Structures are given as structure tokens and as C-alpha cells.
Structure 1
Amino acid sequence: MSKTFYKLSFIFLIILFGCSKDELEGPLLNEIFGNFQLNSSLTISNNSPDFSASNELVKFHCDFNKSIEWKIAILGLESGSLKEISGFSNVIDSNEVIWNGNTSQVPFFKKELCAVELTFLNEVDTLRDTINILETKTYDGIVVADFENGIPPEAIVFHQFSMNMTFELSDDDPLEGNNYFKMGGRMGWNEWFLGSLDIPLDLTSVNSPANDFYINLGVLSGINGETASDQFINILVSESTYPFNDDLSNNASDVFQDTMEVYKYQIRPVDWDGWKMISLSYDQFEVKSSGGNNLREPKNITAIKIQCQSCPGANANCPGNMAIDVRTDVDFLILTQGSDLLSQ
């Protein structure tokens, strides 16, 4: 009996000390089964930020008793712009969780009061505060067209002469600033092409490769909540060294011919209601015409074309388009390096 007792005691001690560690593996039971509790309220470092100042940021802090999925939502009460910051942790660290005035989705923030909410997955706790934006963020990039002073110099506008053609400046619903460019109308015959805007460019100072060079364009669609069937935008980019508008007898620039180095991206369909920011890295563009080396070199870009197209109502596939105008309005065409616009 004594030998059995000693053997069992010895095995018990081995198990006891063999399983003892200074560090525990896996989550604590409280992390899994414990009730969620806030250890502090939400702290905002700056409730009246001037985002035009290069180093001015808003920092957030809050801590709780267990790791959990959390989300900070910042809503512009005038613009409707929304910025969301989310994570999984037991602390919102003000050294890491910051806001520089950017948005998660357009429209952009204005100088306005913003509502701030911190929520937690599957928990009723909601912390609220406000932020008053004194000055808005300035985005870095090459602004090709913001339409604040009209159409860009030397740009060429063409449109078909059919029903309700717009292709003009308007100030009733801009994405950024005070003006935008309307592109739409209704075709009365079996023709997909409605019109275009051609803009010359000089990007010789750009050093980024194609996968790190972004074309960002705001696109507005929808009329009374409806959109024309199969309406879309073609973006053409030329690297041709031919003169932009040498032939004054045609209706467009001269650098998008089939014999020239031209690349294309199609935004199809444009089927949303309201503004949407489209951001495309240049390496996503396909070869439209191979008149060059087909390397997609941003520094060699000489022009960009924004083209409005749609399935015409006269087409058997889209008879409903005889009763609705095409709308592919654009604003704030900006080229960025290193990241797309909304990631700045």
C-alpha cells in the first residue's frame, strides 16, 4: 500500500510542476465568459481640430476589461460624411487610434459639427461625443480637374446632339468645392457614346511606378433614386507624344488614336445613387491600342479622357432607357502617389 501511495504522489507532483508555467497560454476565462465592463470613458484629444494644419490630429482613448470588437463612427452632421475606425482589443490606444480628417466614404467632411459614437459588438454600451471641424483636410495629389474655375485649360468637351444633353458645369450638388461637371442625357437613336471630356497632362515630374500611381475620380449617378440601365464610364489614358489638339477639325483630342499608346479602364456599370469615389491604380488599366512599349509609365502620361456611354433606349436590350436620362457626372479628378485618395 505504501509503495502505491508513493508512486501516486510522485506522479501527482510531476503533473503538478510539469503544468506550472510563468506565462499562461490562451485567453483568460474572463476574456471568454466575463461580463463586459468599461474601465474609462471615451477621451478625445482635440474636439475642435484644424485639419488643414499638417500635424493636427484627433486621438482617441478608452479601455475596458476584455478584448472585444469595437468601432468608432464619426458622422458629419451637415455633409453626411462618415469615417469609421475599428479594431479588436481591450484598449483604444491614443498613440495608435487617430483621425486626420479623412473620410471612409464620400462626400468629404466640411467645416461642421460631427457626432462621434463608440460601440462594441453585441454590447449595449455606446459612448458619445462631438467634434467640431474648424478647417478641413487638404488631400495630397495632382488636381487635374476640380471645376472651381471652369473646365481645365485646353480641355475639349464633346457631346452628341440628342435629348437633354448636359456636359456642362453645375453648382447644385458638387462633391468638393462649389462646382462639378455634368455628363449625361438621352440618346434618340441606337448609339452608345454620349460624350467625353479630354484633358491634357504633363506628368514628367512623377516618379511612381504604375502600381503605386492612382487615378481618383468622383462619380455622381442617380435621378430620383433611379439609374439608366447599363450606363458606364470609360477612362482612357494616353502616353502618346503627338500634339494634343493638332487637328482642329475633329471633335476630340488627337492622342487617343488606334495607332498610339493608349490604356483603358471601364467603370461599368455606374449603378449607384449619389456620389462615389473611384480610385484606380494605373497597372489596372488594360492596353487599348499598343502604339508604344505597353509598360504603363505614369511620367509619360500626356492626356486623359473621361467618356460617358450607355445602352441606348433604341436598343432592344434597354427599352426602359427611353424614359430616363443617363447620369455619370464627375468631380475632383486627382492623381495620387503612394496610396489612393481616401487612404491618405
Structure 2
Amino acid sequence: MQFRSKYLVAGLGLAFFIAGCERDLTPDGPSLSDLYGTFKVKTALESSRAQVDFSAGQSVYFTAETSIATDFVLEIKGRTSGAVKRITGKSRTLDVSNALWQGETSQFPTFQTEVCDVQLTFPGYSDTLTTEVTVTGKRVVEATILDDFEGGISPSWTKFIQSGANMQFNIQTAPPLAEGSKYFRLGGTVGWDWLIGMYEMPKANMNGGAGFQLSNDAEKVFFNGVFRQMAGLDNAIILLQLREDDNGDGTYSEGSEDLWAVEIRPESAWELMSFKYSDLVTLVNGAVSAAIGNGLHEPEKLHRLSILFLANPSSGYAQCDADMLAFTENAPLAL
């Protein structure tokens, strides 16, 4: 009996050891079937709704299922606009958690009211799934819009344009477009000065004189714009300047109140750029310098916004396009 009990204890110990090992070997990552299973499509690609009105706050998501977890690329393309939204991930299933579309774009222009073709592909596999969805209402931009140029150039701007050659400060409609059907072109040659032209928006011209009405938290305020530079050129600089009325006397005192700035050097393709207000710096001749005023980023005290179009006078013709200039709060602009 003593001999038997020793083996019984040993057997029980071995059983607990094996059970413990089985628990420890349970993978936290992908299952073996995902790693080594055979790929096949189990359910077709479908949309949660056939029509979606983004202007009413609606959204749409897409569903599909495969036999194993795999990389996927979901591409939505507008038939009229050519706009593209891409969603990527890795999963066995597509659902509202990983395939939700709220009307934003990945590749300009933005979507219009139009039929959109939806395609689901799996890198490494030949299967392609398709469906379509109709946009009946465009996505509403949640922002303080300075100008989207759809109605021409806003009368809130004041301007100064040099008397150079081939000066172009006008509305354009030729594709490729960014947001909407119009954008603003800045171009010209000025052989004696870096400044080609400048547009400014004073506080008094915003919201019936009430100003920009921005948050007092610089961490939450973003300046946004969509920009591009003429293909083949790289000499243009868009200088954004924001002047604050630090002492609250209703004016900006040059040399004693804060002037924040950022240089923008666009690429040849349309790009949405966003700049957090708290990240803006003081620039003197393009170099970061000490703050001029109290050194505090105070968006609620913004007195004047300036957009200067610059180029080295020896570099010849310069040209950039701009669209959807806007302030947002809590997050960068999404288009």
C-alpha cells in the first residue's frame, strides 16, 4: 500500500504539472488556425445601409467574414468625385468596430453626394469582394471656417499683393480638387522681395465683430488647411502668423505682444495640415526666437491672422493652392 501511494502521489503531481503546462501554453496571440489555416471567404461584403446621409449624422459600416484572421484593405471610391477612403486592419470579421465610415476621405477630393464603389481585398490572396453605397448627404465640417472659397474669397480678408509678374491670387475650379469645387491659388514672381502677397483676417471682421471666439486652452485649438504646391516647384513658403492682443486693449502692439507663426512648405499633392496652437513659435527671419510678448499661448486673445506667400526673389515663379482654412477645437480637422 505504501508503494502504491507513492505512485499515486507522483501520478497526481504529474497530472497537475501537465495541466499547468497546458494553461501556460494557451496562446494570447493568434490561434493556430489563424496562423496555419486555409484562407477562404465565409460571408460576402455588405454595407449596414444602402444609403447614408452624413449631413444628418448618419454613418455606415461594412461586414464580411473569412476563415482566418488576415490583413484587409477596404477601399471606398466615389464614382463622381474620385474621392477615396481606405480602412486597413487584420481580423477574421469586418464589423462596426473596424470598418466604420463617417464620410471622411483618405485621398482628396472629398466625397460628394454620389454612388460609391466599395472593394475589399486581402493582401496575399486573390479574392476581391465588392458592394456599393450611395451618399445622399455630405459630411458636415465641424469647425470655425475662415474660408472654403466655395463662394469666392471671403470679404473678411484684407489683402496686399505685389506688382510682380504672373500674379495669381484667384479662385480655381480645375481638378484635382480638395474640398468642394473651388480652391484659392497664390502665385507670382517678385524679383526684389520675398513677399509675393499677403491676406489678413482681423478680429473685427469675424463673427460680426465678435472675433474668432476660440477656446482659452491652446492645447485644444488647431489651425487647419489643405495645401499643395505646383508640381516641379519647391520654392514657395506659406507663412502663417497669429497676433495676440496680450493686454486686452483692442489693438496689437508691434514688438511688445505675442506673434506666433509656422512655416508651411507644401508638397505637390493636396495635403490636410493641422497645427496645434500651443506648438506655434515666434519666428524672426525664419528662425525660432524668444517670445515677443508675455510668452503665453492665448488663442482667445487672437487679434489678427495673416497668411503670407513667400519665395526667394532669385528663385523665379512660385505657386501654391489652398483650401478649407479653419480652426477646430479638441482635435485636428477631419475631412
Query: TM above 0.5, one fold?
Result: yes
Aligned to 2:146: 144
Counterpart amino acid of 2:279?
Q
Offset of residue 20 of structure 1? 4.1
Do structure 1's residue 210 and structure 2's residue 205 form an aligned pair? Answer: no
Select the residue among 229, 236, 239 that pairs with 2:241.
236
Select the residue among 39, 52, 55 that pairs with 1:52.
55
Q: Could you tell which deviates more after superposition, 35-44 or 287-296?
A: 287-296
Give the Cα–Cα distance (whole angstroms) in 2 for the partners of residues 122 and 208 of structure 1.
50
Give the Cα–Cα distance (whole angstroms) in 2 for the partners of residues 187 and 64 of structure 1.
60
Name the count of aligned residue pairs.
Answer: 315
Q: Could you tell which deviates more after superposition, 105-114 or 328-337?
A: 105-114
Give the Cα–Cα distance (whole angstroms) in 1 for the partners of residues 32 and 200 of structure 2.
63
Give the Cα–Cα distance (whole angstroms) in 2 for the partners of residues 242 and 92 of structure 1.
57
Q: Could you tell which deviates more after superposition, 167-176 or 256-265?
A: 167-176
Counterpart amino acid of 1:283?
S
Alpha-carbon distance change, 102 to 256 in structure 1, aligned in 2, over 3 angstroms = farther
Alpha-carbon distance change, 46 to 6 in structure 1, aligned in 2, over 3 angstroms = same
Alpha-carbon distance change, 21 to 261 in structure 1, aligned in 2, over 3 angstroms = closer
Aligned to 1:113: 115
Q: Could you tell which deviates more after superposition, 173-182 or 274-283?
A: 173-182
Select the residue among 81, 85, 88 that pairs with 2:87.
85
Give the Cα–Cα distance (whole angstroms) in 2 for the partners of residues 13 and 332 of structure 1.
68
Give the Cα–Cα distance (whole angstroms) in 2 for the partners of residues 64 and 154 of structure 1.
54
Counterpart amino acid of 2:49?
N
Give the Cα–Cα distance (whole angstroms) in 1 for the partners of residues 148 and 182 of structure 2.
7
**Aligned with 1:52: secondary structure?**
helix
Cα deviation, 1:172-206, whole Å, max 9, x if unaligned, reads: 455334433221111234x2221111012355643
Contact 1:265 1:284 in 2 (8 A): no
Aligned to 2:228: 220
Q: Could you tell which deviates more after superposition, 200-209 or 66-75?
A: 200-209
Give the Cα–Cα distance (whole angstroms) in 1 for the partners of residues 178 and 27 of structure 2.
51
Alpha-carbon distance change, 147 to 21 in structure 1, aligned in 2, over 3 angstroms = closer
Counterpart amino acid of 2:66?
F
Counterpart amino acid of 1:286?
V
Aligned to 1:327: 319
Q: Which has the higher strand share?
A: 2
Offset of residue 230 of structure 1? 2.7
**Aligned with 1:210: secondary structure?**
coil
Give the Cα–Cα distance (whole angstroms) in 1 for the partners of residues 214 and 250 of structure 2.
20
Give the Cα–Cα distance (whole angstroms) in 2 for the partners of residues 340 and 233 of structure 1.
19
Do structure 1's residue 276 and structure 2's residue 271 form an aligned pair? Answer: yes
Cα deviation, 1:259-294, whole Å, max 9, x if unaligned, reads: 3321001113x2x22422211111121024734322
Offset of residue 12 of structure 1? 5.3
Q: Gaps (5+ residues) in structure 2?
A: 204-209, 284-289
Aligned to 2:45: 42
Give structure 1 regions of 4+ aligned residues with deviation exceeding 6 angstroms: none
Counterpart amino acid of 2:232?
E
Counterpart amino acid of 1:237?
L
Alpha-carbon distance change, 209 to 15 in structure 1, aligned in 2, over 3 angstroms = same
Contact 2:167 2:189 in 1 (8 A): yes
Aligned to 1:264: 261
- Percentage identity across aligned positions? 27
Give the Cα–Cα distance (whole angstroms) in 1 for the partners of residues 278 and 98 of structure 2.
31
Normalising to structure 1: TM-score of the pair? Answer: 0.81
Aligned to 1:318: none
Offset of residue 104 of structure 1? 2.0
Normalising to structure 2: TM-score of the pair? Answer: 0.83
Aligned to 2:311: 310
Q: Give the 5 Å matches for 1:288-303.
A: 288=283, 290-303=291-304
Contact 2:229 2:236 in 1 (8 A): no
Give the Cα–Cα distance (whole angstroms) in 2 for the partners of residues 259 and 17 of structure 1.
75
Contact 2:110 2:180 in 1 (8 A): no
Offset of residue 130 of structure 1? 1.7
**Aligned with 2:126: secondary structure?**
coil
Contact 1:208 1:337 in 2 (8 A): no
Contact 2:116 2:134 in 1 (8 A): yes
Select the residue among 161, 167, 170 that pairs with 2:169.
167
Q: Gaps (5+ residues) in structure 1?
A: 245-254, 315-320
Give the Cα–Cα distance (whole angstroms) in 1 for the partners of residues 141 and 273 of structure 2.
15
Contact 1:71 1:119 in 2 (8 A): yes
Do structure 1's residue 187 and structure 2's residue 190 form an aligned pair? Answer: yes
Offset of residue 326 of structure 1? 0.9
